[in-house]
Amino acid sequence: MQLRFTKEADFRQERDFGAKIGATLEFLAAHWRPLGKCLVYFVLPVALLMGIGLGMITNGMFNMIGAAKSNPAALRQPSDMFGVSYFIGMALAMIGGVAAYAVLLSTIYAYVRLLLTEQPSIPPTPAQVWQQIVPWLGRMILALGMLFGLYLLLMMVLSGFIGLLGGGTAAVLFFLLFIPVLFYVVVPLSLYFPTLWIEDTSVLAALRRCFYLALSHWWASFGLLIVAGIIQGCMAILFVLPQYAVIIGKTMRIPGLDSDALGIAAQCLYAGGLLFSCSIPLLAVLFQYFNLVERKEGVGLRTLVDSLGTGQVPVAYNHALRPDDEGEY
């Protein structure tokens, strides 16, 4: 069977809501092996760093809880949980989580960018994807730093106004009014990295562009994020289940299940599964980007028109009617 989603025309199409979800799943079905290989090469090592950090955090917490069940004096103060291993684990989890998400974004969008620009007869290899990622490392760090700065600015504004209002009913009302504003900003920003990668633009130009694309299509983008997030969350639940066995083992002091190594392994499985399942909303947003560009600018239609007459002339062939067949008289 011919591999789908290998030409620019396969991506640049107007799609309704169901077609965007369908295209996401069809793309994963067609490219799960080569794309999955790239994710294993680039995302999995950083995801394991995140998992080790999470394991160190949860091991310390649940070991303390398990010890307190048999000996209440073992937990004299809540601060006893926050030892050196806790803060080391927190640092590893934060650094690994941010790095893994950045590498995940870069791997998926670099893979699709190769499909658009190279139009290969075979899927891109990890070496080709890495060659695409390396020149973008500086731009990705700058983009993530800018988004983090915007987040801090919004939180400072929220905290400042709540502080000026002095708490009470007015502060609660302001917080409730701030939430829709936050959602309004987050939904267009979901198109930021597809815009940055596909259009090869600057970090500021991509910021303006994603808000322009989401204009008058905010609800469609919001609904797509919700549905794709639900699908991703249902898949991620499967990777959470081993954690519950470890939690029960540590709190009930069950031999074997209370192992710290098992706790770290369960968290590594969770981190890897969570990041890999995040491919679904990232690809759904990508198809929403192509849909909005096509609706507003018709890039794919113009490309298709420009390509008319440049390919090989199709040869008609019919098994029933052949030029050397005299037929029956």
Separation between Cα atoms, residue 71 and residue 61, nearest integer Å = 15
Average pLDDT over residues 202-217: 92
In percent, how much of the chain has pLDDT > 90? 47
Tell whether 254 is covered by a domain.
yes
Least confident of 31-40, 130-139, 256-265, 309-318: 309-318
Q: DSSP string spanning 42-72?
A: HTHHHHHHHHHHHHHHHHHHHHHHHHHHH-G
Examine residue 288 and state whether it is found in any structural domain, yes or no: yes
Q: How far apart are the first and last CA of the chain?
A: 40
Mean model confidence pLDDT for the chain: 83
Does any domain span residue 245? Answer: yes
Q: What is the mean pLDDT of residues 110-133?
A: 88
Report phi then psi at 200, rounded to 5: 50, 55
In the predicted model, is pLDDT for residue 32 greater than 50?
A: yes
Where is pLDDT greater, at 153 or 80? Answer: 153
**Distance (Å, whole) CA 12 – CA 295:** 10
pTM: 0.82
Mean pLDDT of 16-23: 92
Per the structure, the complete domain to which residue 225 belongs is given by 12-136+211-296
Q: Is residue 162 part of a domain?
A: no
Is residue 200 domain-resident?
A: no
In a domain, residue 117? The reply is yes
pLDDT reading at 183 higher than 90: no
| Assigned domain for 176 exists | no
Is 221 contained in some domain? Answer: yes
DSSP 232-261: HHHHHHHHHHHHHHHHHHHHTT-TTTT-HH
Residue 281 sits at the vertex; the CA angle it makes with 237 and 185, to the nearest 5 degrees, is: 115
pLDDT band for position 301 (50/70/90)?
low
Domain total in the chain: 1
What's the number of CA atoms in the CB half-sphere (13 Å) around residue 110?
Answer: 26
